[in-house]
Amino acid sequence: MIAFQLKRSSRDLVGHTVLILFPLALIFFFDYLYKNVNIETGMGMGGQSPITALVIGFALTFQIYGSAISFETLAEDLYSPMHDRIFSSPVEMRSIILSILVSSTLVSFLQTAILLVFSSIILGASFPSLPFVLLVLLVSVVFNQLFGTVLLLLTGGVKTANMVTTIYGSIVPMTVGLYFPLPKGEFFRLLRMYGSPMSLANTASLAVMEGQIRLFIICLAVLLLLIAVLFFCLQPLIRRISI
Amino acid sequence: MLLQVDEVIKRFGSTLALDCCSMQVEEGEVIGLLGPNGAGKTTCIRSIIGLIPIDEGSITVFSQKQDGKNREIRRNIGYVTQEITIYEQMSGRDNLAFFASLYGMDKLSIANRIEEVAQIIGLEGRLDDKPKHYSGGMKRRLNIGCALIHSPRLIIMDEPTVGIDPQSRSFILRFVKQLARDGSTIIYTSHYIEEVEAVASRIYIMDNGHMIAQGTLPELIARIQGDHFIEVEVRIASEEKKLQLQQLPDVKEVALEGNRYRIVVPGGIPVLDKIVLILSEQGLVTINTKQPNLEDVFLTLTGKQLRDEVQS
Ligand SMILES: Nc1ncnc2c1ncn2[C@@H]1O[C@H](COP(=O)(O)OP(=O)(O)O)[C@@H](O)[C@H]1O
Ligand SMILES: [Mg+2]
């Protein structure tokens, strides 16, 4: 079933292109800005070059938009006549949701990975401790996809889920300092580093590149905890829509 | 008894979708479920499969109680939905394999069964194309194929031929008849009388959530045997004249279809002269009295004409 769902997700070529090319263009644009127009990036990137911080930041941002891969696919099956067709069979609601979740997670992670590869080839970004960075990005994808699914089941419609995701995906990157520097001060430093799931993933990635293992582990652990919470929220939601 | 629906009541808010609905199906039967739009056919089917809870009554499928949780029942039903429920962006083969996987079939039996089903639905050469490149009729055929893939004991088809060309329709009717000859039990829902007449071994007529009659075609026709059917074709028909005809004391039902009035009168009562009198100004073209068919049964029992409903 996962093979089918993977194949199904892969058919959305326009979606994939947008989710890869658009962040790439933005990274290119901001990188140009930082290099030529003496602007500072808002991210606390330690010793990393701006381009590396930008790639991580935009990869994480577009993972949020990429959560639509799971909830739009899911909505096609749950909120349409397809629902009756699928559940006239003995299959469990849980299996359908999980198979879509797993395949969407793989697809979204692949987009992130491709973004990293492209930006290192084209823009010369470098990623120390790459396997650990990828691990953080994978955990972040799982969080976002799960979040999208919970959101859909909670709101019961793709429209609301899309709206919430769009708003969330526009505001959260700002709190990480992706688009412009945040004001100085302890509050904004904490907001930038730990204020949202995206900040946690961002901090964890930068930390592991800097060799700050403790910070890396703490942020990753909190992210995993959030995933567990979402997963537990999923159970009653699934029960609610199955009969 | 393969299926027993017992005095089922189902409400959607204030809508009474099933009103004391009862139905029995024996193994090997092809049941035609005939009723106008909104009669409750789809609701009846969804209740049988356990997709919606019922308010009152009981449903037994394969001798097991349908409580909505019974996976054994679902495993043995093939459901052709009224809407086309296939993945347009996935090939025909992918679709068949996906639906097969929902029933826990293994890879080898899926591969073998896909070839068989492709033959039944006449899509052998097109399995690797995507349904978005199919004609409407081919999509409908794949929609049916996906419900046959796991060789179900009971096949339920909800208006499987809506909106397709006559060739595709007659192809579908032919293979439904073949499935019946091979021993499948089928519930075939339609608001097309000819289809039900062509495939069904027994017919249920449904209206307003209730089964108002059931029987084989000859049995149903025998129920209204006492009636005569007069068909009058005129040059210019009007609703007003239809009302006048309905007001005649001995006329049971009148329907207007194009320029043709179809009038039901009790046998042995001479009303033809009165009818002719009313319609004479409209320019009589032909007058026929004829043997009743299923359409007349429907008209007599419901006072409705199915064709009118189709257009609305
Ligand atoms: N999910 C639903 N919510 C509210 N009303 C419904 C629902 N499904 C069906 N109905 C109503 O129940 C009646 C029977 O509908 P349906 O079973 O679809 O009829 P048919 O399949 O014979 O056209 C109609 O009046 C329809 O509007
Ligand atoms: Mg219907």
Query: What confidence score (pLDDT) does residue A69 get?
Result: 85
Could you give the percent of chain A with pLDDT greater than 90? Answer: 75
pLDDT at A44: 65
Mean of pLDDT values over A23-29:
92
Contact A77, A100 (CB under 8 A): yes
Ligand 2 midpoint to CA B37 (Å): 6
Q: Which of B51, B69, B97 sits opposite A88 (nearest CB)?
A: B51
Same domain, B36 and B143: yes
Least confident of A179-183, A229-233, B251-255, B303-307: B303-307
Considering only A111-125, A166-180, B54-68, B287-301, which range has the smallest mean pLDDT? B287-301
pLDDT for the residue numbered B312: 34
Q: Does B90 lie in the same domain as B9?
A: yes
Instruction: Report how far ligand 2's centroid is from the alpha carbon of B129 (Å).
Output: 29
Q: Give the residue among A127, A145, A144 at the shortest CA–CA distance from A205.
A: A127
Query: Which ligand is nearest the CA of B36, by number?
Result: 1
Q: How far is CA A27 from the centre of its chain?
A: 16
A and B: number of Cβ contacts within 8 A: 61
Q: A38 pLDDT band (50/70/90 cuts)?
A: low
| B97 contacts on A by Cβ (under 8 Å) | 4
- What is the helix (H) or strand (E) element at residue A121, kind and residue range? helix A93-122
Q: Which of B178, B196, B219 is the last residue of a domain?
A: B219
* Total domains in the fold of chain B: 2
* B89 and B234 part of one domain: no
Residue A160 has pLDDT above 50, yes or no: yes
Residue B303 in any domain: the answer is: no
Would you call B211 helix, strand, or coil by DSSP?
A: strand
The domain that contains B87 carries what CATH number? 3.40.50.300
pTM above 0.95, yes or no: no
Write out the H or E segment, with its range, that includes residue B196.
helix B193-199
In the predicted structure, residue A243 carries a pLDDT above the cut 60? no
State yes or no: pLDDT of A181 exceeds 50: yes
First to last CA, chain B: 37
Q: CATH no. for residue B254?
A: 3.30.70.100
Q: How far is CA B157 from the centre of its chain?
A: 8
Q: What's the complex ipTM?
A: 0.90
Cβ(B198)–Cβ(B192) below 8 Å = no
Same domain, B21 and B72: yes
Where residue A13 falls among pLDDT bands split at 50, 70, 90? confident
Q: Which of A81, A86, A88 shows the shortest C-beta gap to B83?
A: A81
Same domain assignment for residues B20 and B142: yes
pLDDT tens track of chain B, all 312 residues? 999 999 999 999 999 999 999 999 999 999 999 999 999 999 999 999 999 999 999 999 999 999 999 999 999 999 999 999 999 999 999 999 999 999 999 999 999 999 999 999 999 999 999 999 999 999 999 999 999 999 999 999 999 998 888 889 999 999 999 999 999 999 999 988 889 999 999 999 999 999 999 999 888 888 877 788 889 999 988 999 999 999 988 888 899 988 999 998 887 677 888 888 899 888 889 888 877 788 888 888 887 776 544 433
B24 and B140 share one domain = yes
Same domain, B201 and B231: no
Q: Where are the beta strands (DSSP E) in chain A?
A: none
Distance from A52 to chain B by nearest Cα, in Å? 37
| Domain assignment of residue B145, yes or no | yes
Within-domain flag for B237: yes
pLDDT at site B309: 44
Are both B117 and B262 inside the same structural domain?
A: no
Annotated domain spans of chain A: 2-241
- Model pLDDT, residue A172: 96
Per-residue pLDDT at B190: 92
From the list A121, A117, A118, A156, the residue with the least C-alpha distance to A134 is A117
- Which residue range is the domain that position B208 belongs to? 3-219
| C-alpha dihedral, A89 to A92 to A98 to A99, nearest 10° | -20
Return d(Cα A149, Cα A164) in angstroms, integer: 12
Q: Which pLDDT does position B249 carry in this prediction?
A: 86
| Distance between CA atoms of residues A186 and A193, nearest Å | 11
Whether residue B134 sits in one domain with residue B246 = no
CA distance A174 to A177: 5
- Domain end marker among B171, B189, B219: B219
CA distance A133 to A139: 10
Confidence (pLDDT) at B268: 66
CA proximity to A193, closest of B160, A76, A185, A52: A185
Question: Would B302 be classed as within a structural domain?
Answer: no
User: A88 pLDDT exceeds 80?
Assistant: yes
Within this chain, do residues B158 and B208 fall inside the same structural domain, yes or no? yes
Q: How far is CA A81 from the centre of its chain?
A: 30
Confidence of residue A32 (pLDDT cuts 50, 70, 90): confident
Q: Say if residue B13 is in the same domain as residue B64.
A: yes
A36: contact with B, CB 8 A cutoff: no
**Judgement on whether residues B210 and B230 belong to the same structural domain of the protein:** no
The answer to whether residue B311 is domain-embedded is no
For A81, other C-beta atoms within 10 Å of its C-beta total: 12
Q: Tell me which residues of chain A, numbers 76 to 115, contact chain B at a CB-CB cutoff of 8 Å.
A: 80-82, 84-91
